[in-house]
Amino acid sequence: MTADRLIVVETSTGAPGEPDSTGARDLYNAMSAQGISVDLDGLNAEVAAVTARRDRAQNLVDDLTGIEGFKPNSKKMMNEWLAKSKRGPLASIKQELLPAVLSQEELNLIGDLKKQKKTLQDLNTLRKHTDEDGMVRPTWTEALTGRWYTGEPPIQTLSAEVRKFLVPRPGNGFTTIDWHQHELRILARLTEDPDLQAIFESGADPHLAVYERTTGIKLSEDPAKRKAQRDIGKMLNYALVYGIGPEGLAARLGITDSQGQDLIDKHFAAFPVMAKWIRKTAIEGMANGYTTTISGRRIPVDTTAGTEEGGRAWREAVNYTLQGSSSDHMTDLLNRLRDDDGGKYFEYLRAQMHDAVLIDAPLDQRKEIENWFQEQMEAPFKGILVPSDSNGPSANWKDTMDGLEIDLDPAKVS
């Protein structure tokens, strides 16, 4: 790979008074240049196997529908098939609408075809962007909030079936180190909500503690029921600050809209300081046309639409403040990984994913290197201490991600 291919598009917010973020581009270019090894033999064999499975799935669906080359995501083809079988038509081919007109067997066949096609697409994308030396060096792009994501190839969003072909160098092992409930701890610092801060100070599981405080229901001793309670607490912790409404919350938890509204009301009543901060941050962000992160970086807020409570501009102001502050922490971390102790272990850094980093370390030095990375990650930032979890060593990226609890992706709840 040549240096001129390491093109990283850095999006400028263009907001007034924005501090200079010089260094982020160089950090990500340096990380990308180090490359991630690809198991090309395994990748090529998997491409052949998935191609065969895709072809079989396509033939089964073509026979089912009577349409050669049937495309499950084509509304035209779907309605053509439904018309022939005296069903439909559908105004949309959203997944949730299909069970009303298709049998379970039909859904399974179409679902398998979609899966095989998506997996094959990801496999071919990874193969296309693998360099002659067997390394993949993704480009990185900065989003408006300051979060960085991979472009070509998008290794952060590859499925598990594809991530397993990203492997450590010979004699090395992958370790993923993940900040533990990173954004929620930043939220506690931003809001200065004493009730939320007390949960972290107590060492309690914040998702269970929030569930119990919000609902007033005692935690179950039954593992399955306790997990269900924790899932509700986690959804409340992350979804509400990103502006999800009662309908969205209800859909995700399998409850009625009125029950969703009741949960939201109870949650904000249980954490009134946080509720006040959300409202204040939204109103000020819309009034100013920008919001400010914990490091003083300004991010513009689109005030042309959705300025009502819970509307788009309202959600952006709150979402950008939290995500932007999380991004500030990650940038601070990467700078320290490069600069502290002469950046002695920076060469082992391969990628960052939301609130985690991937390292590729020699097995005989793994513990020392892992401990150094964790010390850097757990160093104070703006008065915030965030513990970390690690998983490794592993023989591929898929395995090192298994078992880690990555924070809920805001894109899925906003």
Mean pLDDT of the chain: 87
Same domain, 84 and 202: no
Same domain, 113 and 225: no
Residue 59 lies in a domain: yes
pLDDT bucket at 120, cuts 50 / 70 / 90: very high
pLDDT at 406 over 90: no
Residue 144 lies in a domain: no
pLDDT of residue 403: 56
pLDDT at 192 over 60: yes
Q: What domain range includes position 81?
A: 42-127
**215-248: pLDDT as tens digits:** 999 999 999 999 999 999 998 888 777 777 788 8
Residues paired with 232 in a beta bridge: none
**41-87: pLDDT as tens digits:** 999 999 999 999 999 999 999 999 999 999 999 999 999 999 988 88
Same domain, 316 and 187: yes
144: how many CB neighbours lie within 10 A of its CB? 18
Contact 188, 202 (CB under 8 A): no
pLDDT at 349 over 60: yes
At residue 140, what are phi and psi to the nearest 5 degrees?
-125, 140
Where is the domain boundary, 320, 351, 369? 320
Residue 5 lies in a domain: no
CATH number, residue 252 = 1.10.150.20
Residue 289 lies in a domain: yes
pTM for the model stands at: 0.84
User: What 3-state class would DSSP assign to 173?
Assistant: strand
Residues in CB range of 196: below 8 A, 6 or more apart: 184, 187, 188, 206, 271, 273, 274
Q: What total of structural domains would you count in the chain?
A: 2
Residue 220 lies in a domain: yes
Contact 326, 353 (CB under 8 A): no
Identify the residue with better confidence: 25 or 261. 261
Same domain, 117 and 209: no
pLDDT at 13 over 70: no
Same domain, 190 and 293: yes
Of 166-180, 201-215, 246-260, 343-357, which gets the smallest average pLDDT? 246-260
Residue 152 lies in a domain: no
Same domain, 69 and 194: no
Where is the domain boundary, 127, 159, 192? 127
CA distance 346 to 343: 5
**Paired tokens of 57:** 């799935």
Identify the residue with better confidence: 220 or 24. 220
Question: What does the pLDDT average to over 277-288?
Answer: 93
pLDDT at 407 over 50: no
pLDDT bucket at 3, cuts 50 / 70 / 90: very low
Same domain, 201 and 293: yes
Same domain, 312 and 204: yes
User: What 3-state class would DSSP assign to 332?
Assistant: helix
Closest C-alpha among 95, 49, 50 to residue 72:
95
**Paired tokens of 76:** 């035209």
Same domain, 206 and 313: yes
Residue 28 lies in a domain: no
pLDDT at 306 over 80: no
pLDDT of residue 198: 94
Same domain, 117 and 246: no
Where is the domain boundary, 105, 127, 149? 127
Residue 384 lies in a domain: no
Closest C-alpha among 11, 272, 13, 271 to residue 151:
11
